Amino acid sequence: MCKIRVTIWNEFRHEKSNETVKKLYPEGMHKAIADGIAADDLEIRLASLDEPQNGLSPEILEQTDVLMWWGHCHHQDVADEVVKRVHQRVLEGMGLIVLHSGHKSKIFMAVTGTSCSLKWREVAEKERVWTVEPSHPIAAGVGEHFDISNSEMYGERFDIPQDGEIIFMSWYEGGEVFRSGVTFKRGHGKVFYFSPGHETYPIYYNPEVLKVLSNSVRWAKPVYWGKTNCPNVKPLEAIATKEIDLSYLPSRLK
Amino acid sequence: MCKIRVTIWNEFRHEKSNETVKKLYPEGMHKAIADGIAADDLEIRLASLDEPQNGLSPEILEQTDVLMWWGHCHHQDVADEVVKRVHQRVLEGMGLIVLHSGHKSKIFMAVTGTSCSLKWREVAEKERVWTVEPSHPIAAGVGEHFDISNSEMYGERFDIPQDGEIIFMSWYEGGEVFRSGVTFKRGHGKVFYFSPGHETYPIYYNPEVLKVLSNSVRWAKPVYWGKTNCPNVKPLEAIATKEIDLSYLPSRLK
Amino acid sequence: MCKIRVTIWNEFRHEKSNETVKKLYPEGMHKAIADGIAADDLEIRLASLDEPQNGLSPEILEQTDVLMWWGHCHHQDVADEVVKRVHQRVLEGMGLIVLHSGHKSKIFMAVTGTSCSLKWREVAEKERVWTVEPSHPIAAGVGEHFDISNSEMYGERFDIPQDGEIIFMSWYEGGEVFRSGVTFKRGHGKVFYFSPGHETYPIYYNPEVLKVLSNSVRWAKPVYWGKTNCPNVKPLEAIATKEIDLSYLPSRLK
Amino acid sequence: MCKIRVTIWNEFRHEKSNETVKKLYPEGMHKAIADGIAADDLEIRLASLDEPQNGLSPEILEQTDVLMWWGHCHHQDVADEVVKRVHQRVLEGMGLIVLHSGHKSKIFMAVTGTSCSLKWREVAEKERVWTVEPSHPIAAGVGEHFDISNSEMYGERFDIPQDGEIIFMSWYEGGEVFRSGVTFKRGHGKVFYFSPGHETYPIYYNPEVLKVLSNSVRWAKPVYWGKTNCPNVKPLEAIATKEIDLSYLPSRLK
């Protein structure tokens, strides 16, 4: 059996500059996620912003089946050409899992075509994640709901397109609601956005969160790789030779 | 009553360089469309690629309720910042009508998030446009189907997202099918793609095509203008002061 | 201008049997709604379960553009033939607004094709209704959110199809979330479900709730009436006369 | 590994009354399909209209993971209680594959909530099935298109809900188009409609058609069984005890 080749991409700057984050994730959130979802059918690689080509060279992408993305304050530092390359790879079949503040990443706005704007608040409040679609593979083994003791609040209106299938919806202590787990398809690639994951809380050690991420990787695994060219094709049926019909043309132009 | 401010944007190069196109559309396809949909409730302006700022300065966009777009061989000559400006205006509420070869325009790929690739063939074959959603305002007054005597064939697979509501589907003499009229919503703006409209055929004089475009402008008219910022908000409910819950943190990090 | 002919249907039994409900709605919830949304462009009629033909004879339906529906404990007392008649009218173009406990009405389950099941609790808790789609006509003039001081809780998972466009989502004091305002299209008819409206609370006097209902009637107004027959049609293109191709038929059958 | 338990249901009357059909399908279309998709991971059972309980007793349904349905002239002879039982089983997780003239079956209209009406013509014309979603499991191994030499024409407008994901679209020699392969989800069950399959043509021996049906069974396999009850639940958060807020109540009722 071929392993699923997962690349977990992380901005990986908070962990170096912020003491709280450094204590929680000394090797980076991407490493905590990698450890948390490690399994025999996964081949996991880490990548981050300050590596050459932002860690996402053509060679690495070609060896990636599913890309997970965590970014926050430095979305603008990801090169446009890297974003185009990732986008193209999604359209050809690669899975894309976008986490938390990645809602404003260039790549998520590119695949959705929207601003992905939302309301937010950071007061360590409680978030309750409700499973809306229990028969979706991403929700397998997740109960009717699970709680995250401390979370950054992300609230509606979330500006995403209407083809987002809602897998999870969240309730917040402070009074908001949010579509916290949503899937899309773009080209031949599957896309999943999952909002829990603030860097100053230990969310990526939460077993329910890890189960969701773990499920999402299997769900997003490519089953088909396709091209996105525009082929010029020959007719399959005979075309009656004909003049151009000018009957609607204004008389002054005839 | 306020008029709907419509800007019809055209690449407007074929009409200068190609004799066939020049004869059909001596003042440009945008002018033919403007004449064809002229009505008391519309205030129509023309814009084109070779004007300053590609004809779409911030001032012009701010005075545009619905933007119609025809582009073909020179998509790459539209400045990225102009595309971003148009995209932002769509998210805030402006209607966008994308025509024919505009399927590969930067703006349509930006709002869909897909490659918008398709099959094509140019042999002047017959296209029959079927009305799939007769109760949609864009189809008002259009019959069960109408024929276009000569058309460029655009065939499936058309790479667009699944939230495209299908208003029209086309049959081609040469054996293909196509989702030829499809709507989307992005942010607060409505988007309509309509495929008939090849430059070397007099399609923009066809009364059924003009009726569809005419309907689409009224349908896409903004009813709400919104911003796409991410506000930081105060809680609406009391938050119990609390410690960060570290129970899932690995013991080595505690 | 033609008025929109609205029929507000109510089970109208709680108001006779329950003292609390009788005090809040002495003439019925349908009458409170009718008074609350009264306007020059609406022609409102009341109907209820214990009238002949459950208040929905063919004649009344033929004079109805938009039907509003409140039912609760006596869904089973609505005759199947009445439900079929209403359903058929929706498919032909009539608008349908389903309220609160009408989620388990025969007609709502018929148009959705699902069980419409949900979680519930009746403890007079606070509900906050969030506007998810502010540019939708049903949300016109409604703010970012509004509160209902006392509400019956309806919680996810709500078993509805995925083409439900979410206009409102609710937060509940007790910890749940819900897609509280959702639209569908079935045939040529528009359908809107709105969950606030428990009979023992004065919800149908709430100005925000009335604004939503008022908007929904205008949105659901039919713009096209169509039939749902299956016509046998003649070919539009010549069919080459041909034998039946039996090449795949198993040889034992040739 | 557990086998997928497939029940192929057939009206099974044409094969007895019509000589053409009898010659093509002496043991019934359901038997031809069963032979055509037979595989080690499938446990296939046949059922038909004239068996007790229309062949679909509670016991049989409880042992069915995926139900395939072919009906035509005798939809009305399927008992309503059988339809309700099948519908309930779909909502709980069973897959449902509806074939050809089954578009007007009670069960398909029940799960879609629409009339499922369409245009039709029976002149043995050519149908070309185009793959719209090549990365969908139902299209696995099917090429860009395949032809059916003789088919009954089914044409748009096809009255189905907008959450139908289009896998295949058909072109007809006589000039129509059709959404010929469409998926839905209802409750926890997956639904696939596939239009090719007229009884007087040997369509169920076509290897491409059999591949589609074969794929669809694996795709529709249940991954989760759920109930559709409406549980009364306790609050997860403390509810502040409170009076009913009567501030909006008209003064005459206070």
Q: For A104-110, what is the mean pLDDT?
A: 98
Chain-chain contact of C201 with D244 (C-beta, under 8 angstroms): yes
Chain-chain contact of A176 with C130 (C-beta, under 8 angstroms): yes
- Give the model's pLDDT for residue A238: 93
Q: Pull the structure tokens for residue C176.
A: 């749940």
Q: For C223-250, what is the mean pLDDT?
A: 91
Place of tokens 């004079």: C63
**Is C58 in contact with C82 (CB distance < 8 Å)?**
no
Distance (Å, whole) CA C181 – CA C196: 9
Helix H, strand E, coil C: the string for chain B is CCCEEEEEEECCCHHHHCHHHHHHCCCCHHHHHHHHHCCCCEEEEEEECCCHHHHCCHHHHHCCCEEEEECCCCHHHCCHHHHHHHHHHHHHCCEEEEEHHHHHCHHHHHHHCCCCCCEEEEEEEEEEEEECCCCCHHHCCCCCEEEEEEEEEEECCCCCCCCCEEEEEEEECCCCEEEEEEEEEECCEEEEEECCCCCCCCHHHCHHHHHHHHHHHHHHCCCCCCCCCCCECCCCCCCCCCCCCCCCCCHHHC
Distance (Å, whole) CA A4 – CA A213: 14
Nearest residue on chain A to C128, judged by CA atoms? A175
Question: Is the per-residue pLDDT at A1 higher than 90?
Answer: no
D145, D173, D224 member nearest A135 (Cβ): D224
- Within 8 A of D179 by CB-CB distance, chain B residues are 169
- Within 8 A of B171 by CB-CB distance, chain D residues are 171-172, 175-177
Q: Is A88 exposed, middle or buried (0-12, 13-18, 19+ CB in 10 A)?
A: middle
Question: Is the per-residue pLDDT at D1 higher than 70?
Answer: no
pLDDT, tens digit, 9 for 90 and up, residues D93-131: 999 999 999 999 999 999 999 999 999 999 999 999 999
- Within 8 A of A131 by CB-CB distance, chain C residues are 156-157
- Within 8 A of A253 by CB-CB distance, chain B residues are 23-24, 26
* Chain B interface test: which of D157, D160, D236 (most B C-beta within 10 Å): D157
Look at the alpha carbons of B204, B206, B208, B214 in this order and tell me if their dihedral is positive or negative: positive
Residue D13, amino acid: R
Strand ranges (DSSP E) for D37-132?
42-48, 66-70, 95-99, 119-131
* Chain A interface test: which of B177, B246, B251, B252 (most A C-beta within 10 Å): B246
Chain-chain contact of B249 with A187 (C-beta, under 8 angstroms): no
* Chain B interface test: which of D119, D129, D177, D179 (most B C-beta within 10 Å): D177
pLDDT, tens digit, 9 for 90 and up, residues C146-199: 999 999 999 999 999 999 999 999 999 999 999 999 999 999 999 999 999 999
Confidence at B254, pLDDT banded by 50, 70, 90: confident
Confidence at A52, pLDDT banded by 50, 70, 90: very high
Chain-chain contact of B162 with D162 (C-beta, under 8 angstroms): no
Confidence at C11, pLDDT banded by 50, 70, 90: very high
Q: Pull the structure tokens for residue D74.
A: 């005798």
Helices (H), A138-239: 207-220
Confidence at C242, pLDDT banded by 50, 70, 90: confident
What are the φ/ψ torsions at residue B244 (nearest 5 degrees)?
Answer: -75, 130
Chain-chain contact of D155 with B128 (C-beta, under 8 angstroms): no
Look at the alpha carbons of B30, B36, B37, B41 in this order and tell me if their dihedral is positive or negative: positive
- Within 8 A of D170 by CB-CB distance, chain B residues are 177
* Chain B interface test: which of C91, C128, C135 (most B C-beta within 10 Å): C135
Confidence at A187, pLDDT banded by 50, 70, 90: very high
pLDDT, tens digit, 9 for 90 and up, residues B137-151: 999 999 999 999 999
How high is the mean pLDDT of chain C?
96
Going edge to edge, which strands form the sheet with D165-172?
D42-48, D4-10, D66-70, D95-99, D189-194, D177-186, D165-172, D119-131, D145-155
Nearest residue on chain C to A128, judged by CA atoms? C175
The full DSSP string for A74-94 is: TGGGS-HHHHHHHHHHHHHT-
B and C: number of Cβ contacts within 8 A: 30
Nearest residue on chain C to A143, judged by CA atoms? C157
Distance (Å, whole) CA B223 – CA C138: 11
- Within 8 A of B163 by CB-CB distance, chain C residues are none
**Is D182 in contact with D82 (CB distance < 8 Å)?**
no
Nearest residue on chain C to B137, judged by CA atoms? C223
**B150 beta partners:** none
Chain-chain contact of B185 with A206 (C-beta, under 8 angstroms): no
Cα distance between the two ends of chain A: 67
Residue B144 makes CB contacts below 8 A (sequence gap 6+) with B130, B131, B134, D157
Q: Pull the structure tokens for residue A89.
A: 């790879």
Distance (Å, whole) CA D185 – CA A132: 14
B and D: number of Cβ contacts within 8 A: 49
**Is B135 in contact with B104 (CB distance < 8 Å)?**
no
- Within 8 A of D237 by CB-CB distance, chain B residues are none
Cα distance between the two ends of chain C: 67
- Give the model's pLDDT for residue D254: 84
Q: For A145-166, what is the mean pLDDT?
A: 96
Confidence at D87, pLDDT banded by 50, 70, 90: very high
- Within 8 A of C172 by CB-CB distance, chain A residues are 171
- Give the model's pLDDT for residue D186: 98
Confidence at A248, pLDDT banded by 50, 70, 90: very high
Nearest residue on chain C to B189, judged by CA atoms? C135
Q: Pull the structure tokens for residue D179.
A: 């959404």
Strand ranges (DSSP E) for chain D?
4-10, 42-48, 66-70, 95-99, 119-131, 145-155, 165-172, 177-186, 189-194
Question: Is the per-residue pLDDT at C1 higher than 80?
Answer: no
Chain-chain contact of A131 with C155 (C-beta, under 8 angstroms): no
- Within 8 A of A231 by CB-CB distance, chain B residues are 119-120
> Beta-carbon neighbour count of residue C118 at 10 Å?
22
Task: Give the CA count within 13 Å in the CB-facing half-sphere of A101.
Answer: 18
Chain-chain contact of B130 with D172 (C-beta, under 8 angstroms): no
- Within 8 A of B223 by CB-CB distance, chain C residues are 135, 137, 140
pLDDT, tens digit, 9 for 90 and up, residues B226-250: 988 999 999 999 998 678 999 999 9
Distance (Å, whole) CA C166 – CA C138: 11
Confidence at C254, pLDDT banded by 50, 70, 90: confident
Distance (Å, whole) CA B33 – CA B8: 8
Look at the alpha carbons of B48, B49, B50, B54 in this order and tell me if their dihedral is positive or negative: positive
CATH number for B4-253: choose from 3.20.20.140, 3.40.640.10, 3.40.50.880, 3.40.50.300. Answer: 3.40.50.880
Chains with 3 or more CB pairs closer than 8 angstroms to A? B, C, D
- Please state the separation of Cα D54 from the chain's center in Å: 17
Nearest residue on chain A to C180, judged by CA atoms? A177
B93, B135, B237 member nearest C226 (Cβ): B135
Confidence at C52, pLDDT banded by 50, 70, 90: very high
Q: Pull the structure tokens for residue C166.
A: 């979410």
- Within 8 A of B145 by CB-CB distance, chain C residues are 236
Nearest residue on chain C to A134, judged by CA atoms? C157
Between helix D207-220 and helix D29-37 the angle, nearest 10°, is 80
**D5 beta partners:** D43
Q: For A113-119, what is the mean pLDDT?
A: 98
* Chain D interface test: which of C72, C112, C245 (most D C-beta within 10 Å): C245
Nearest residue on chain A to C126, judged by CA atoms? A175
A and B: number of Cβ contacts within 8 A: 172
pLDDT, tens digit, 9 for 90 and up, residues D219-241: 999 999 998 899 999 999 999 86
Which one-letter DSSP state was computed for residue A199? T
Distance (Å, whole) CA C186 – CA C209: 24
Q: For D62-91, what is the mean pLDDT?
A: 98
pLDDT, tens digit, 9 for 90 and up, residues A53-73: 999 999 999 999 999 999 999
Chains with 3 or more CB pairs closer than 8 angstroms to B? A, C, D
Cα D86–D90–D92 angle (5° rounding)?
115
Chain-chain contact of A171 with C176 (C-beta, under 8 angstroms): yes
Chain-chain contact of D226 with A134 (C-beta, under 8 angstroms): yes
A131, A172, A177 member nearest C157 (Cβ): A131
In terms of Cα–Cα distance, which of C103, C159, C100, C170 is closest to C132? C170
Confidence at A249, pLDDT banded by 50, 70, 90: very high
Chain-chain contact of B135 with C236 (C-beta, under 8 angstroms): no
pLDDT, tens digit, 9 for 90 and up, residues A158-181: 999 999 999 999 999 999 999 999
Q: Is B163 exposed, middle or buried (0-12, 13-18, 19+ CB in 10 A)?
A: buried
A and C: number of Cβ contacts within 8 A: 49
D128, D131, D157 member nearest B134 (Cβ): D157
Chain-chain contact of C174 with D24 (C-beta, under 8 angstroms): no
- Within 8 A of C89 by CB-CB distance, chain B residues are none
- Give the model's pLDDT for residue A240: 86
Place of tokens 């578009």: D103
Residue D206 makes CB contacts below 8 A (sequence gap 6+) with C248, D148, D196
How high is the mean pLDDT of chain A?
96
Q: Pull the structure tokens for residue C172.
A: 């509940």
Q: For A227-248, what is the mean pLDDT?
A: 90
Distance (Å, whole) CA C112 – CA C109: 5
**D119 beta partners:** D155
Distance (Å, whole) CA D7 – CA D26: 19
Residue D241, amino acid: T
Helices (H), chain A: 14-17, 19-24, 29-37, 58-62, 80-92, 106-112, 207-220
- Give the model's pLDDT for residue A22: 96
- Within 8 A of D222 by CB-CB distance, chain A residues are 135
Chain-chain contact of D244 with C202 (C-beta, under 8 angstroms): yes
Distance (Å, whole) CA C186 – CA D109: 11
Strand, helix or coil for residue D165: strand
Nearest residue on chain A to C157, judged by CA atoms? A132
Q: How far is CA A113 from CA A28, A186, B106, D5, D183, in A?
A: 29, 11, 12, 42, 25
pLDDT, tens digit, 9 for 90 and up, residues C56-101: 999 999 999 999 999 999 999 999 999 999 999 999 999 999 999 9
Chains with 3 or more CB pairs closer than 8 angstroms to C? A, B, D
Q: For B216-228, what is the mean pLDDT?
A: 96
Confidence at B1, pLDDT banded by 50, 70, 90: low
**B178 beta partners:** B170
Distance (Å, whole) CA A184 – CA A194: 12
The C-alpha of D234 sits at a distance from chain C's nearest C-alpha, in angstroms, of 7
Distance (Å, whole) CA C216 – CA D158: 27
